[in-house]
Amino acid sequence: MVFRRAIAPEKQVVQAWVQQHFSHFWASEVEVAFSRQPVALWVAQEGQQLLGFACYDCTAKAFFGPTGVLEAARGRGIGKILLVKALESLREQGYVYGIIGGVGPADYYAKAVDARLIPGSDTHHVYQNLLRG
Ligand SMILES: CC(C)(COP(=O)(O)OP(=O)(O)OC[C@H]1O[C@@H](n2cnc3c(N)ncnc32)[C@H](O)[C@@H]1OP(=O)(O)O)[C@@H](O)C(=O)NCCC(=O)NCCS
């Protein structure tokens, strides 16, 4: 398995994969990740099969996410490696804390990197008036 930072020629492939397996909202955030130099997105792959991705600095500065692992590949440690790679990328930029934006599985983040819930962030957050189309 290979873990690496995505590069520009893969933008459409990664975006289409994220749209197919997750959502068009996440595909939009992926587009922002590919506008950065270096690209603010890590991938996990086995041969030509994309297994997972993790972005940072997309919807807000110091934000981790979105991230996702192919359903059939979950539980193998892929998500955690992508998470740590992206958090290390944030640290390299000088951030001291990373924020999991719009946290889904909070227990996963608590277990993987000792993340804590920010009080009040379930009701006041950057996505609260999101246009859903
Ligand atoms: C969340 C997600 C990325 C985790 O990926 P994964 O590759 O299955 O995770 P890992 O195998 O690296 O799991 C790391 C650890 O967290 C645990 N874990 C995984 N998912 C968990 C969950 N939903 N709740 C609690 N613990 C979880 C694993 O058991 C593992 O523990 P271990 O180190 O003791 O073995 C994946 O489940 C996913 O794509 N979910 C759908 C999209 C999503 O919710 N993304 C996050 C949005 S904020």
What is the full DSSP assignment across 35-97?
A: TSSS-SEEEEEETTEEEEEEEESSSSTTEEEEEEE-GGGTTSSHHHHHHHHHHHHHHHTT-S-
- Please work out whether the CB of residue 111 comes within 6 Å of at least one atom of ligand 1: yes
pLDDT one-digit tens code per residue, 1-54: 999 999 999 999 999 999 999 999 999 999 999 999 999 999 999 999 999 999
- Please work out whether the CB of residue 79 comes within 6 Å of at least one atom of ligand 1: yes
Q: What six digits make up the tokens of 31?
A: 């587009």
Q: Which residue has the tokens 């999991």?
A: 100
- Please work out whether the CB of residue 50 comes within 6 Å of at least one atom of ligand 1: no
Task: Note the residue count of the chain.
Answer: 133
Between the CA of 53 and the centroid of ligand 1 the distance, in Å, is 13
What's the CATH number of domain 2-113, 3.40.50.1820, 3.40.630.30, 3.40.50.920, 3.90.25.10? 3.40.630.30
Cα Rg of the chain, angstroms: 14
Between the CA of 117 and the centroid of ligand 1 the distance, in Å, is 17
pLDDT number for residue 90: 98
Residue to substitute in 41, 46, 74 for testing ligand 1 pocket (most ligand atoms within 8 angstroms of CB):
74
pLDDT number for residue 49: 98
Mean predicted lDDT score pLDDT of the chain: 96
Does residue 6 sit in helix, strand or coil? Answer: coil
Domain ranges of the chain: 2-113
Residues sharing a CB contact under 8 Å with residue 48, sequence separation 6 or more, in sequence order: none
pLDDT number for residue 102: 87
Q: Report d(CA 89, CA 95) in Å as an integer.
A: 9
Q: What six digits make up the tokens of 106?
A: 């909070």
